[in-house]
Structure 1
Amino acid sequence: MDSISLEALFAILALLICISAYFSSSETGMMALNRYRLRHMVKQNHPGATRVDKLLQRPDRLIGLILIGNNLVNILASAIATIIGQRMFGDAGIAIATGVLTLVVLIFAEVTPKTLAALYPEKIAFPSSIILTPMQKLFAPLVWLVNKFSNGLLRCFGINSQHNGEENLSRDELRTIVHEAGNLIPDRHQEMLVSILDLEQVVVEDIMVPRNEIAGIDINAEWEVIMKQLMQSAHTRILLYRDNVDDAIGFIHARDTLRMILKEQLDKTSLLRSVKDIYFIPEATPLNTQLLKFQRRKERIGLAIDEYGDIQGLVTLEDILEEIVGDFTTSIAPEACDEIHPQEDGSIVIDCGISIRELNKELSWKLPTDGPKTLNGLILEYLEEIPEPHISIRLFGYPLEILEVEKNMVAKVRVFPELYRDEQQKAEG
């Protein structure tokens, strides 16, 4: 080293710092890559992504290679800096060189290149893989030796270094990714994707039409009554039963009814011959499962039953699709009246037959959904008795006034959103 000029030593030191910066940025760039974007680019046959993906298949070898190179360069740079310091300042130059080199390495070979690589991992990792790939083959024996000791140490702690940790995403993580997609996915599409993820958490009981609201026809009624119901029906599939829904016979399609009318063959006997068998569905079936069952069985409608086999409600394919894409109607009848009625004074009158899930969705509330399915059921469970009209309660923080009670059910309540918001703001303040 004594024969090398001071200028040459400074040049070598600068080169070593640049090489150290390369290794530092390569390490951060490789580790900061979005693995799902990388897999997509590999499928698109991107050459840089393909090289990086092969390197990342064994991260222990990649990190070993980078750290070996980085440490060799840094140690050599430290030795050269010490020589430069001694030549310029004597024995005191060792301390000066150590302090200056630490600052220079920290700024130019660590913080700056790693920050740049974290911000632009693909721009750093892909070109870097061109050099790292042959280096991995060249230094394979040394990397193998270092990893042998390192992996042995990890095994002492019960860690398998060859386990590459499949990065399977949970439903909540997928939901977060969808929400953070920003302008890449339109808001409406984000809502649909999240709704699909939530299907597993929703069961048939949550969306079914309750049995007391099922529109059907009693085949034992007078023929004039039956004809009137057929003509005024808002549904393409109509349930036929004897006396009550518990004695359901089957579904009749409006198309079949029209065909019999045109042929002048419509009577009770022909109606009974045209009914389709009932498809019974356990009310606890998750919606994602039921959607697949509808598809496999080529069905569009069924009756939900409880654990005792009693009919509890009716569910259709449309009901499940609305959970994904939002409300729509294919009915020939006008849309049903909403169950939420805003008033001029700012309050809201709510029909208590509304489901808790729909109420939460419409008013952005957070009422519990793991118990009763309707607002009426939630109020009765909370009070543990049938209330009198015109009393006020606070239901999970929401102030309600009970307006009507009919047939042992809470029929209508009035809520005061402004009052609730004011109280929330005071509590947060």
Structure 2
Amino acid sequence: MNDISLNILFGILAALLIISAFFSGSETALMTLNRYRLQHLVKKNHKGAIKTLKLLKKPDRLIGLILLGNNFVNILASSLTTLIAIRIGGDNAIAPAIALLTIGMLIFSEVTPKTLGALRPEFLAFLSSWVYIPLLKIFYPVVWAINIISSLLLRIFGINGTSHRTIDSLNKDELKSIVSEANHLMPARYQNMLLSILDLESASVADIMTHRNDIIGIDLEDSIEDIVKQLQNSPHTRLPVYKKNIDRVIGFLHLRTILSQISDPDFDKHSITNSLSKPFFIPASTSIHKQMQIFKAEKLRTGLVVDEYGDVLGLVTLDDLLQEIVGELILEEPDIKMQKDGSYLVDASVTIRELNRVTQWELPTEGPKTLNGLIIEYMETIPEPGTSVKLHGHVMEIIKRDENTIKLVKFNPKR
């Protein structure tokens, strides 16, 4: 070594620092690489992505190779620095030289390349894959031996290194978090649709149904004149037909099949009952996702939601199910209005799920389905207008109510 000039030694040291930076940066890039984008690029036959995926299928070998190379280079750089220091200033120069090397390696071989690897993982990961694959073949015996020793040490602590592979699987809540944070990657309408689809399994038809008190139907106990007038002015194309109350429904009437008969002189209630289709009943606990499949299989568009006793709770349509994914099919006055000061004016009939979706809150959905029901259950009374209360961490004020329900609520902005 004494025959080698200092210029060459400094050149070798600089090369070692660059190699160390490569190992450090590529390790960060490979470990932080987006696995789903990687899978997408593999399907498009991207050569760098294919090689990178091959490396990541056995991360223990990859990490072993990187650490082997990085530690070898760093130790060699430290030895070379000691030699240079002795040749320049003797033994007294060793400590300052090692201090300078530590600072240099920290800046140029650790922090900077790792930051670059985190910010531009694809560039470094795909580039390094062309280097690591042949290196793995060359140093396979050494890497294999290191991994065996490492696995034995892990087993001492009760960890099976072969069974704890990195699994790129996400549960529903994790996937929802990813979609929620993807504001800059997709339009808001697509983001809302994806979040709605992820919610289909956890929501039941009872969450989105039209309550029985709001169902518009034909009561055969009414006069034929009133029924005809209702048919002519109905905004709906399918109406439930019942006797006295909705629990005694006998079928559904499609206006297209009956309107042409209204002008007939012999049109009567029998004409209506002869045009009915069989009612379809849905258990209240049925998930929205499952009900979509049922509607599709049965070629139906409307069903009545019933409880465990067979009593009608409400009505749900195919449009209601689709609306859960694509949003309002018909633009109406919104039930949740954000004010300039950050507060919300909320129609108390809105569902808790819809309120949570719009505001990103986490109000409980296990009990009452509407905001009105949640407030009444929480306060155990129907509060008067002007009443303020803290509901599950949110300060709200009752703005309007009638005899038995809350109509309008204001949620104050969080401070």
Question: Which residue in the other structure is 2:207 paired with?
Answer: 206
- CA 1:200/1:93 → structure 2, altered by over 3 Å: closer, same or farther? same
Q: 2:397 corresponds to which residue?
A: 399
Q: Give me the whole-angstrom Cα distance separating, in 1, the residues matched to 2:181 and 2:359.
A: 24
Is the 2:399–2:408 contact (alpha carbons within 8 Å) kept by the matching residues of 1? yes
5 Å matches for 1:354-369? 354-357=350-353, 368-369=364-365
Q: Which runs of 5+ in 2 are unaligned?
A: none
Compute the displacement of 1:380 (Å).
Answer: 3.9
In 2: Cα distance, 1:140 partner to 1:57 partner = 16
* Equivalent in the alignment of 2:34: 34
Q: Is this contact kept in 1: 2:228–2:262, CA < 8 A?
A: no
Structure 1 residues 416 and 380 mapped into 2: Cα distance closer, same or farther (>3 Å)? Answer: closer
* Identical amino acids, percent of aligned pairs: 50
Partner amino acid for 2:325? I
**Correspondences of 1:74-85 after superposition (within 5 Å):** 74-85=74-85
Structure 2 Cα separation of the partners of residues 380 and 15 of structure 1: 73
Asked if the contact 2:183/2:191 (under 8 Å) is kept, the reply is no
What residue is the counterpart of 1:150 in the other structure? 150
Corresponding residue for residue 280 of structure 2: 279
Q: Partners of 1:393 and 1:107 in 2: how far apart?
A: 57
Specify the SS of the correspondent of 2:200. helix
Aligned-residue offset at 1:251: 0.5
* TM score, norm. by length of structure 2: 0.87
Letter in 2 for 1:372: P
Which piece of structure 1 moves more, 94-103 or 204-213?
94-103
> What are the superposed Cα offsets for residues 160-184 of structure 1, whole Å, 9 maximum, x if unpaired?
3333232222323222322332333
**1:332 aligned partner:** none
| CA offset digits 1:171-209 (Å, max 9, x no partner) | 232223223323331112212221222223322112211
Query: Gapped runs of 5+ residues in structure 1?
Result: 330-334
- Given that 2:304 and 2:312 are in contact with CA atoms closer than 8 Å, whether structure 1 keeps it comes out as yes
- Distance between the aligned counterparts of 1:126 and 1:391, measured in 2? 63
Kindly indicate whether residue 310 of structure 2 is the aligned counterpart of residue 309 of structure 1: yes
Cα offset, 1:103, TM superposition:
2.2
Q: Which amino acid in the other structure matches residue 180 of structure 2?
A: H
- Which residue does the alignment assign to 1:328? 329
Whole-angstrom distance in 2 between the partners of 1:230 and 1:86: 103
Question: Quick check: 1:6–1:84 contact (8 Å CA) kept in 2?
Answer: yes
Q: Distance in 1 between matches of 2:359 and 2:52?
A: 48
8 A Cα contact 2:386 2:397, kept in partner: no
Structure-2 separation of matches of 1:361 and 1:110: 43
Tell me the equivalent position of 2:89.
89
* CA gap 1:265/1:354 in 2 versus in 1, 3 angstroms: farther
Q: What's the TM-score, normalizing by structure 1?
A: 0.85
Q: Which amino acid aligns with 2:321?
A: I
Q: Where does residue 112 of structure 2 map in the other structure?
A: 112
RMSD: 3.0
Amino acid at match of 2:29: G
Q: Please give the alpha-carbon distance, in whole angstroms, between the structure 1 residues aligned to 2:408 and 2:376.
A: 16
Following the alignment from structure 1 to structure 2, what is the Cα–Cα distance between the partners of residues 358 and 76?
62
Match of 2:257 in 1: 256
Shift of 1:157: 2.5
CA contact (8 A) 1:341 1:349 kept: yes
Measured at CA, do residues 336 and 56 of structure 1 come closer, stay the same or move farther in structure 2, by a change above 3 Å?
A: closer
Alignment match, 1:242 = 243
Does the aligned pair in 2 maintain the 1:348–1:414 contact within 8 Å? Answer: no
Aligned equivalents of 1:160, 1:269: Cα separation in 2: 75
Q: In structure 2, what is the Cα distance between the partners aligned to 1:74 and 1:363?
A: 52
CA distance in 1, matches of 2:20, 2:8: 18
Alignment of 1:176-215 (within 5 A): 176-215=177-216
Q: Which shows bigger deviation, 317-326 or 40-49?
A: 317-326
Query: Which segment drifts farther, 6-15 or 42-51?
Result: 6-15
Paired position in structure 2 for 1:370: 366
Following superposition, the deviation at residue 237 of structure 1 comes to 0.7
Distance 1:19 1:203 in 2: 58
Mapped partners of 1:263, 1:158: distance in 2: 85
Q: What is the one-letter code of the residue matched to 1:398?
A: M
